Structure 1
Amino acid sequence: MAIIGKLIKAGIGINQKLNFDFTNDDNPQLNQLKNLLSKAKDTAFGKYYGFAKILDSDDIIMAFKGEVPIHGYEAMHDQWWCKQQIHPDITWPGIPEFFALSSGTTGKSSKRIPITDDFLQSMRDVGRSLIKELPNFDFPEEVFESEILMLSSSANLKENTEGYLEGEISGINVSNFPGYYDLFYRPGKEIAAIKDWDERVAAIVKEAPNWNIGAIAGIPSWVLLLLQEIVKRHKLKSIHDIWPNFAVFASGGVAYETYRTDFDALCAKPIAIIDTYLASEGFFAYSSRPDSMAMNLAVNHGYFYEFIPFDSRGVDETGAILENPVTLTIDEVEENQDYVLIVSSCAGAWRYSIGDTIKFVNLKTNEIMITGRTKFFLNVVGSQLSEEKMDAAIIEASQKMDVSVNEFSVAAVKNENGEYFHQWIVVTDDEFDCTKFKDLLDKSLTEANKNYKVARSKALKGVKVESISKETYHGFLAKSKKKGGQVKTPKVMTTEKMNEFLEFIKK
């Protein structure tokens, strides 16, 4: 019996049972907004939009919506955040010590998101809330005395000319780990600081036999690649040959389901999957119960949320937010309706559109699921395909052909006659019949989505599928500088980017 693990597990269980809510907070989101406005009322942003006056309003939420516009990244950065790199008290008190570089799934370059001390604390608080839910999963005691492998971006942060440090959010988090994390955190700060992704992976693979890993956290695509390299290098039958206590994978960044089959093939026994919603803009949600990919929204942790219906009430036919969209609070939303997530946070983001779409699957527990990105919405000819719908069709076609497809890219492209078709590139190392997969994919989307069915009978004249190996795919990512532990690659491409991808494959 693992005595230390048993004690830790018991301690977490007692903590969960004693975690009473003494505040009797009937409206946590209203109180979060009040706290945010109060802390930022003397900043330049707070004075410009009259936060003090909003706080005196009879209806604070309505006044907030009426005074503060919805911001995309360009508006928030160009008008406010760029000044916050130099001057204090712009959108949040003080000057941020860090700026997070987004992984750049949308747009041509990385975004810089301010990371304040209050924001770092909010992310730690959400992490503690997740830990309090671990007794629900009934993990074996051995997990609690094992080590945690976090596949982050580089923790070697770059010092900007203005004096702040910048890097991806996972690297910033790792660089701020307290000293006692060295007892259980792997690969450790020395390896985590290696800038080159391939060199970092090689170092992790080499050290893997020296670790006792019970849990792994990271983006599925890159974690899968790492585990496959470890199994190959050390000539293992499964990852459990080297890490017998591995029982938990904290997934995030992209949907896990298209990777499930390959993860199962690497494991000698079942592992629990905890889904997380951790972005450069915040740690917003986490799974709190087994056998579910739904996540509890963090409503008491320094974020105020609004939700824009992802339909004609809130967005246009391309998925772009309308000039005056309907915006709802958490007590006004419906289950199984897609919403664009809008966040105000203790990083100094105000009514900020992250670019994600989510849906509520349980309003009683505030459980959500991520359904995609607004920029990953394929609707050039009215097909109205969200990332969630495309993932489901890929999984269904893969299962019927008994093949493994983790990644894919798709674009609406014109043929020589000026007619639109969907060009898909699927990534697989299995023997693959592109024609059969194309027919299954087209059939699945037609049967499941009425808008796609209408598009296929009118403007969408066809579907093409091309398959490539994972090696070729990773070569394209390296060429596009999209390689790394926290990089999320785009599934929906522009015509130009798809043509570039196809040209790379030909060469």
Structure 2
Amino acid sequence: MLDGTPILKLFTRPRVARMESLDPVATQERLLLSFLRTARDTRFGRAHGFDAIRGVRDFQARVPLRRYEDFWRDWWQTDFPVLRDVTWPGLVPYFALSSGTTSGTTKYIPVTAAQMAANQGAGLDTLAWHLAAHPRSRPFAGLSFMLGGSTALQDLAPGVRGGDLSGIATVEIPRLLRGRAWPPDTIALTPDWDAKLAALAERTPREAVRVLTGTPSWLLMLLHRMARDGAPPFPHLELLIHGGAAWAPYRDRFGPLLPPGCSTREVYPASEGFCAIQDRGEGEGMRLVLDRGCFFEFVPVEELDTPDPTRHWAATIETGVDYAIVLTTNAGLHAYVVGDVVRFVDRRPPRLLMTGRTAWTMSAFGEHLTGEEIATALDRLGIPIAEWCCGPEFVGELGRHRLVLETEAPLDGLAARLDAALAALNEDYAAHRKGGQLLPPELVAVPPGRFTEWMRARGKLGGQHKVPRVIADPARFAEAVAGLA
């Protein structure tokens, strides 16, 4: 295969210089105003006076925060699946089907041609940052392998299709890149995850793969299946792009499966828009994609459900604060609460870490325990844990947290250590434990592969589906525990 990296560098070199020179505040406000001009004659734009908006402050005064359920009920449900000039001009050609890890409700997220172009640009930006750090790398000397869900799309209406976001992305791959993309449709369209993995393991040209992209848990499953005699399955792999789940629990497990010199780079691509890319070293945060398809706002998590939450943006963000991320996009989402929680490590340029989900907070007993705190406490136990899930249980009038851990390590004494770690991380948890309202946590071990079987039974295996870490509703958690037993 002809090495297309020299041609790629003709784009990436000036693009990196451009991204380095962007003023975050001016760039973001300019992008917002361009979206509002484009959408001003839509039903939503007229209802919110887009014509009269002159800046971010005007926008925040006129357009309230909304979650998916609000958009669905008030703007999309009546006309779905034919959304024409509702929140974005023209006909929405695609809907990305996204099932929330905490609610379990299937969401239909609008995807427009403008958004797909922005996503493709952000994908090239990821390669640009990689080449800036590794100028001798040759990512276009072979295949780029994207491990996603089934690329099969369903016809929802004439000119409107829905399915996994990776399927939409596959349909929209530019012609010039199709010869470098893997897998082919004959495999990518396979709906059964196990059959798809088997086909990939058998038919993927191992020597040709230079770039691998996907969610860590599913990538790990593929690499384990393809590994032979302990050797990395892709000997010439130069870049692994991962997103959708915290990397730290997986890092060491990927080590033996990657060839020497292979780089890893984290990205933050949501169904609603491509948000951020790791531009520096691991753990140094992901840089906001400032000039593509998203205008970003950030609301302190504790204010999210208050009557008048503070809405920060590039001009006012602070480091070290947990924010709920809010997007306005070129797919017709306006002040849309995504459900993710982020924390900035830099302001100029804005770099963030993903720290969880807005629903990844348990307060069934007033403890306000976050998924990040649970993950940190589990890490302090120092035992290998492949997957985990946590939720509340009532024991008579009292409550406790049960954690289901996929591990072969003995659990003797670990519940007390976890209890102490959670108390050290969370004052509310400590107070409720001391006051007697909260019992010590209970740990339950399940054998390797049990979470995979559970996800398979729920029809959530592979692609962009992720194991729900925190299930705050006791009834739903009880169902999950029964399924994992």
Q: TM-score, normalised by structure 1?
A: 0.89
2:82/2:160 contact within 8 Å kept:
no
Aligned residue-pair number: 482
Q: Choose from 303, 314, 319 the match for 1:330.
A: 314
| Aligned counterparts of 1:132 and 1:98: Cα–Cα separation in 2 | 28
Equivalent residue number for residue 499 of structure 1: 478
8 Å contact 2:13–2:128 — kept in the other structure?
no
Whole-angstrom CA distance in 2 between matches of 1:360 and 1:218:
24
Between 1:459-468 and 1:268-277, the stretch displaced more is 268-277
Correspondence 1:1-150 to 2 at 5 A: 4=3, 7=6, 11=10, 14-16=13-15, 19=18, 27-55=26-54, 60-82=55-77, 83=79, 85-138=81-134, 140-150=136-146
| Residues in 1 aligned to 2:131 and 2:259: alpha-carbon distance in whole angstroms | 23
Q: Check 1:11–1:63 CA distance in 2 against 1; reply closer, same or farther (3 A cut).
A: closer
Q: 1:84 Cα shift? A: 5.7
- Secondary structure of the 1:394 match is helix
Q: Select the residue among 234, 237, 241 that pairs with 1:246.
A: 237
Distance 2:281 2:102 in 1: 32
Q: Supply the distance in 1 between the matched residues of 2:371 and 2:131 (Cα, whole angstroms).
A: 32
Alpha-carbon offset, residue 387 of structure 1: 2.4
Distance 1:378 1:139, change over 3 A: farther
8 A Cα contact 2:294 2:330, kept in partner: yes
Other structure's SS at 2:279 match: coil
Alignment of 1:366 with 2:350, yes or no, is yes
Deviation at 1:117, TM superposition (A): 1.1
> C-alpha distance in 1, partners of 2:212/2:197?
14
Name the SS for the 1:375 alignment partner: coil
Shift of 1:8: 5.5
Tell me if the contact between 2:299 and 2:323 (Cα under 8 Å) persists in the aligned partners. yes
Deviation per CA, 1:267-324, whole angstroms, max 9, x where unpaired? 453532211110110001011123335100111113221111112xx13xxxxx2232
Shift of 1:385: 2.5
The correspondence for 1:418, drawn from 382, 397, 402, is 397
Counting only pairs closer than 5 Å after superposition, residues 437-452 of structure 1 correspond to structure 2 as: 437-452=414-429
Deviation digits for residues 392-446 of structure 1 (CA, Å, limit 9, x no counterpart): 222221xx34xx213210011111x321111000112xx3212333233223222
Give the C-alpha shift of residue 329 in structure 1: 1.9
**Corresponding residue number in structure 2 for 1:375:** 359
- AA aligned opposite 2:31: Q
User: In structure 2, do the counterparts of structure 1 residues 10 and 102 end up closer, same or farther at CA, with 3 Å as the change threshold?
Assistant: closer
User: TM-score w.r.t. structure 2 length?
Assistant: 0.93
1:486 partnered with 2:482: no
Partner Cα distance (2:61, 2:15) in 1: 40
Once the 2 structures are TM-superposed, how far is the Cα of residue 375 of structure 1 from its aligned partner?
A: 0.9
2:377 paired residue among 367, 385, 393: 393
CA distance in 2 between counterparts of 1:100 and 1:203 reads: 25
Matched, 1:283 2:270: no
* Equivalent of residue 432 in structure 1, options 388, 405, 409: 409
Confirm or deny: 8 A CA contact 2:234 2:259 kept in the other structure.
Answer: no
Unaligned runs of 5+ residues in structure 2 are none
Query: Quick one: distance in 1 between partners of 2:482 and 2:19?
Result: 59
User: 209, 212, 217: which one pairs with 2:213?
Assistant: 217
Corresponding residue SS for 1:199:
helix
DSSP 3-state at the match of 1:371: strand
In the TM superposition, residue 382 of structure 1 has moved relative to its aligned partner by 3.3
Please say which of residues 338-347 and 163-172 is displaced more in the overlay.
Answer: 163-172
The answer to whether the Cα contact below 8 Å between 1:103 and 1:168 also exists between their aligned partners in 2 is no
Q: Deviations over 1:200-241 (max 9, x none)?
A: 11110111355522221101011111111112xxx33132xx
Quote the offset at 1:93 in angstroms: 0.6
- Which residue type is aligned with residue 46 of structure 1? G
Q: 1:249 to 1:293 in 2, by over 3 A?
A: farther
Are 1:182 and 1:188, in contact at CA under 8 Å, matched by a contact in 2? no
Task: Tell me: CA distance 1:165–1:433, structure 2 relative to 1, closer, same or farther (3 Å).
Answer: same
User: Residues 111 and 12 (structure 1 numbering): CA distance in 2 closer, same or farther, change over 3 Å?
Assistant: same
Letter in 2 for 1:425: V
Q: Is the contact between residue 218 and residue 251 of structure 1 (CA under 8 Å) also seen in structure 2?
A: yes
> What is the identity percentage for the equivalent residue pairs of Structure 1 and Structure 2?
26
Is 2:264 the counterpart of 1:273? yes
2:265/2:282 contact within 8 Å kept = no
CA distance in 1, matches of 2:204, 2:413: 40
Aligned residues of 2:274 and 2:293 also touching (Cα < 8 A) = no
Q: Determine if the alignment matches structure 1 residue 457 to structure 2 residue 434.
A: yes
What is the one-letter code of the residue matched to 1:409?
A: C
Tell me the equivalent position of 1:181: 177
The DSSP-based 3-state class of the residue aligned with 1:462 is coil
The code of the aligned residue for 2:444 comes to: E
Partners of 2:342 and 2:22 in 1: CA distance: 28
8 Å contact from structure 1 (residues 103, 486) kept in 2? no
Q: Secondary structure at the match of 2:127?
A: helix
The AA in structure 1 aligned to 2:391 is A
Which amino acid counterpart does residue 79 of structure 1 have in structure 2? D
Residue pairs, 1:291-330, within 5 angstroms: 291-311=282-302, 314-315=303-304, 321-330=305-314
